[in-house]
Amino acid sequence: MTSIAATLGIRERLRQRVLPHHEAWRRQDEYAGGCLCDGCGERSTSARASYEVDFSPDVTPQSVKLHRARVKIWQYEGESPPIS
């Protein structure tokens, strides 16, 4: 997936509130493969670093898994407030 496609996908997930606009409470490295990236939908592999990002209990969802490159896109795109 290209960076542009990933950015557009993350913007849409933010708009749909599948991904939260809130600042992460905790971020953990996770190198095990098999899970889907909540940012782009692609499967994570052991060769491709990913993170589990946790949020405070009042945020939905409380946790997402993102490839390393998708975390940076999500942080940048999520800085603006959600569109009502």
| Extents of the domains making up the chain | 3-77
Average pLDDT estimate for 59-63:
83
**CA–CA gap between residue 71 and residue 33 (Å, rounded):** 17
Q: Looking at the predicted structure, is the pLDDT value of residue 81 above 70?
A: no
Sequence-distant (6+) residues with CB within 8 A of 19 are: 10, 13, 38, 39, 64, 74, 78
Average pLDDT estimate for 32-47:
82
Sign of the C-alpha dihedral computed for residues 32, 6, 26 and 76 taken in this order: positive
Tell me the whole-structure pTM to 2 decimals: 0.77
pLDDT of residue 4: 92
Say what angle helices 3-15 and 68-77 make with each other, to 10 degrees. 50
